[in-house]
């Protein structure tokens, strides 16, 4: 236990640790190196010990088990994490900006009266506080912020750190909460999986992505025609799915799918960090957007600053001409 | 069901963002404001719940960022009451300070369900919705896409979104605060004529709640547009020329067959 330690909340996806957990461990290691503390990985839920070998990047792995942690619900998770943070008093607690992170990080900050910073991309010590670089305004603005108190609760933007492969002591500690966790008023009931039958965009070599710039549902058809010409499928950023123009199974990004196609043609997609999280590793990214400052151009290989509604018919003709 | 919806104005990202000369804040005088997108969905979700199960919808907002038009639009869509909280400052309060004043305004309304957008793009200090839940001492779950009446009285079923289009159905005993990502259907369109009508008939209620600045736990020292490590090679020319160049690139990569 040290006020220089860095705590990382580990998350799982299915039977494996979520990729973002390894990014957080890399961030934690970099910060702990400068504070002189240790990296603590916290796993909430039954069977946490099984993940210990994969968490070797941490110095200590704290696996908290309780029947209330078998499936996610906010109150038991926030209470269990609070107990660990209060016991360990770390300099910072790193929590990914995920569906669970967006619940537990602010709840933890509220209950500990601790500072909370969101959109964090980089962290370094600053006297007795921390200096955090954070992204906001949909990725169009970066802020350098001083976080004054410990423990700082930092919501980390996925993709901000690369896993290093560096290992720590990897000592496993298995714990139970001091008192049985209360179920809370919000309880998990069941998982709802997407209906089978729609296109699996994670398996496509060519994806034509449409964003807010597509303007109206009728224009999705133009993207469908391009996808057909290239032997691919249409996917979308969140605003398009929110409008009901395409099903949730076509959504790319933090709350949608992660894709790695050979071609990702982004049409009218601004490229907020949440969207980039799901597509930045595509082999070839071509982005079309009227906003020259759109963050999508930061991850694209090629870009064009034109209206997608003007470009799509012209591109369809150009592809048809190539195909003869 | 007595539902309260919190709505916030945020800078419109379609317009260029400017920074004040001191470099540590957005120049909000130069910004145009729109309703925070997830708050729009929270309002839609509240209206859908009211339409399916009865009750009332009260919209609460801090008087900041040209909020009146948003509030008249909410009234035109079907909100029953509009409560405004005075704001003397020229910058929006921090999330925690907002949560405290919203809680003060909402407590007398005896809400069974409080809906707030899960995130506002101009927040650096966390989500308003969980801080509000903490200030109201109510349970909270966020990243919700869709809410229905629950199987038991005094409950709702909320779908929490996870990656891969997977949802977790959560049973929520009321009262509670939900952080809304998306409503069961897109926010409804309301004709301008109805908004004009609402301007004539809607009376805003002024809340007695007062904003107070709490302890500064996070301070911005510098703002700047992100400098990307890499930048796309930009294609220029007419739409036809750009389309031709893209088709050429795709052919070079073997993607046109």
Question: Taking CB atoms and an 8 Å cutoff, what residues of chain B touch A155?
Answer: 126
pLDDT at A285: 97
- Of the residues A101, A134, A185, the best mutation for testing chain B's interface (the one with the most B CB atoms within 10 Å of its CB) is A185
Which A residues 137-166 touch B at CB under 8 Å?
137-149, 155
Q: Which residue of B has its CA nearest to A311?
A: B239
Give me the pLDDT at residue A246, please.
93
Q: If pLDDT is split at 50, 70 and 90, which confidence band does B90 have?
A: confident
Domains in chain B, ordered, with CATH? Answer: 2-206 (3.40.50.620)
Reply yes or no on whether the pLDDT at B91 is more than 90. Answer: no
- The token pair that represents A84 in the structure block: 């660990």
Question: How many other CB atoms are found less than 10 A from the CB of residue A231?
Answer: 12
- Say if residue B166 is exposed, middle or buried (CB neighbours under 10 Å; 0-12, 13-18, 19+): middle
Report the SS3 class of residue A312. helix
Distance from CA of B164 to the nearest CA of A (A): 5
Percentage of chain A with pLDDT > 90? 81
Cα of A55 to nearest chain B Cα, Å: 22
Q: Which CATH code fits A201-323?
A: 3.40.50.1220
| Confidence (pLDDT) at A123 | 97
What is the structure's pLDDT at B42? Answer: 98
Element (H, E) at A78: helix A74-88
B139 contacts on A by Cβ (under 8 Å) = 74-75, 184-186
Predicted local confidence at residue B229, as pLDDT? 65
Nearest one of B15, B13, B32, B46 to B187, comparing CA atoms = B46
In the predicted model, is pLDDT for residue B225 greater than 70? Answer: yes
The mean pLDDT of A211-237, rounded to a whole number, is 95
| DSSP 8-state class, residue B65 | S
Cβ <8 Å between A255 and B161: yes
pLDDT digits (tens, 9 = 90+) for B171-221: 999 999 999 999 999 999 999 999 999 999 999 999 999 888 777 789 999
Q: What b-and-e string marks burial along A298-311, b requiring 16 or more CB atoms within 10 Å of the CB?
A: bbbbbbbbbbbbbb
Chain B residues lying within 8 Å of A206, measured CB to CB: 255
Q: What are the residue boundaries of the structural domains of chain A, listed by start?
A: 6-175, 201-323
Provide the pLDDT for residue B27.
94
Instruction: Enter the ipTM.
Output: 0.92
**How many Å lie between the alpha carbon of B76 and the closest alpha carbon of chain A?**
20
pLDDT confidence of residue A149:
79
Q: Give the highest mean pLDDT range of A177-186, A242-251, A311-320.
A: A311-320
> CATH classification of A6-175, choosing from 1.20.1630.10, 3.40.50.620, 3.40.50.10800, 3.40.50.850?
3.40.50.620
Give me the torsion for CA of A263, A269, A273, A279, rounded to 10°. -20
Residue A1, pLDDT > 70, answer no
Kindly state the average pLDDT of the residues A86-102.
96
Average pLDDT, integer, range A59-71: 94
Q: Is the pLDDT of residue A6 over 90?
A: yes
Whether the pLDDT of residue A114 is over 90: the answer is: yes
DSSP state of B37: H
| A306/B242 touch (CB, cutoff 8 Å), yes or no | yes
Query: What average pLDDT does this structure show over A272-291?
Result: 94
Q: Which of residues 72-131 of A touch B (CB under 8 A)?
A: 72-75, 98-99, 102-103, 105-107, 109-111, 114-119, 131
Average pLDDT of the residues in B34-42: 97
What percent of chain B has pLDDT above 70?
99
- Spell out which residues of chain B touch residue A186, defining contact as CB-CB under 8 Å: 139-141, 158, 170-173, 176
Q: What is the pLDDT of residues A190-214, one digit of tens each?
A: 999 987 767 889 999 999 999 999 9
Q: What is the mean pLDDT of chain A?
A: 93
Instruction: Tell me how far apart the alpha carbons of residues A30 and A24 are, in angstroms, rounded to a whole number.
Output: 10
Which residues of chain A have a CB within 8 Å of the CB of B229? 298
Sort out which chain A residues have CB atoms less than 8 A from B95's CB and list them. Answer: 116
């Amino acid at each position: 236990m040290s006020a220089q330690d860095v705590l990382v909340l580990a998350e799982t996806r299915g039977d494996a640790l979520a990729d973002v957990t390894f990014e957080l461990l890399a961030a934690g290691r970099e910060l702990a190196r400068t504070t002189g503390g240790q990296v603590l990985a916290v796993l909430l839920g039954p069977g946490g010990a099984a993940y210990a070998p994969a968490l070797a990047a941490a110095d200590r792995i704290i696996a908290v088990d309780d029947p209330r942690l078998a499936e996610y619900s906010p109150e038991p998770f926030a209470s269990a994490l609070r107990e660990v943070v209060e016991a360990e008093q770390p300099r910072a607690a790193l929590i990914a900006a995920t569906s669970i992170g967006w619940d537990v990080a602010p709840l933890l900050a509220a209950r500990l009266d601790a500072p909370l910073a969101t959109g964090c991309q980089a962290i370094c010590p600053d006297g007795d506080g921390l200096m955090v670089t954070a992204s906001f305004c949909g990725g169009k603005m970066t802020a350098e912020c001083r976080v004054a108190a410990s423990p700082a609760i930092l919501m980390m933007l996925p993709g901000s750190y690369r896993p290093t492969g560096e290992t720590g002591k990897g000592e496993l500690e298995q714990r139970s909460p001091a008192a049985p966790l209360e179920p809370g008023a919000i309880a998990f009931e069941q998982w709802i999986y997407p209906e089978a039958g729609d296109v699996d965009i994670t398996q496509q070599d060519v994806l034509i992505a449409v964003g807010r710039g597509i303007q109206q549902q009728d224009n999705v058809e133009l993207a469908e025609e391009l996808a057909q010409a290239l032997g691919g499928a249409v996917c979308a950023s969140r605003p398009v799915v929110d409008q009901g123009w395409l099903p949730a199974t076509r959504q790319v990004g933090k709350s949608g799918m992660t894709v790695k196609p050979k071609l990702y043609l982004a049409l009218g997609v601004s490229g907020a960090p949440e969207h980039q999280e799901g597509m930045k590793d595509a082999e070839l990214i071509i982005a079309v957007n009227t906003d020259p400052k759109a963050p999508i151009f930061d991850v694209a290989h090629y870009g064009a600053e034109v209206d997608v509604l003007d470009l799509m018919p012209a591109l369809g003709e150009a592809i048809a001409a190539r195909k003869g | 069901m007595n539902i309260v919806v919190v709505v916030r104005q945020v800078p419109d990202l379609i317009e260029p963002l400017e920074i004040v000369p001191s470099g540590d804040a957005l120049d909000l005088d130069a910004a145009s404001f729109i309703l925070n997108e997830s708050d729009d969905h929270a309002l839609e979700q509240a209206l859908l719940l009211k339409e399916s199960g009865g009750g009332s919808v009260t919209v609460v907002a801090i008087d900041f960022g040209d909020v009146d038009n948003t509030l008249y639009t909410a009234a035109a869509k079907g909100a029953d009451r509009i409560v405004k909280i005075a704001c003397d400052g020229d910058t929006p309060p921090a999330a925690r300070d907002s949560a405290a004043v919203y809680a003060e305004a909402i407590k007398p309304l005896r809400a069974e369900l409080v809906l707030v957008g899960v995130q506002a793009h101009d927040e650096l200090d966390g989500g308003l919705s969980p801080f509000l839940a903490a200030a109201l001492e109510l349970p909270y779950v966020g990243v919700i896409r869709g809410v229905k009446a629950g199987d038991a009285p005094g409950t709702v079923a909320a779908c929490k979104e996870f990656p891969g289009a997977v949802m977790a159905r959560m049973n929520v005993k009321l009262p509670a605060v939900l952080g809304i990502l998306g409503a069961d259907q897109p926010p409804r369109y309301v004709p301008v004529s109805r908004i004009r009508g609402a301007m004539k008939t809607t009376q805003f209620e002024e809340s007695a709640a007062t904003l107070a600045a709490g302890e500064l736990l996070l301070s911005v020292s510098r703002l700047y547009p992100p400098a990307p490590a890499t930048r796309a090679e930009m294609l220029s020319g007419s739409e036809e020329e750009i389309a031709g160049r893209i088709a050429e690139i795709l052919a070079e990569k073997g993607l046109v067959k």
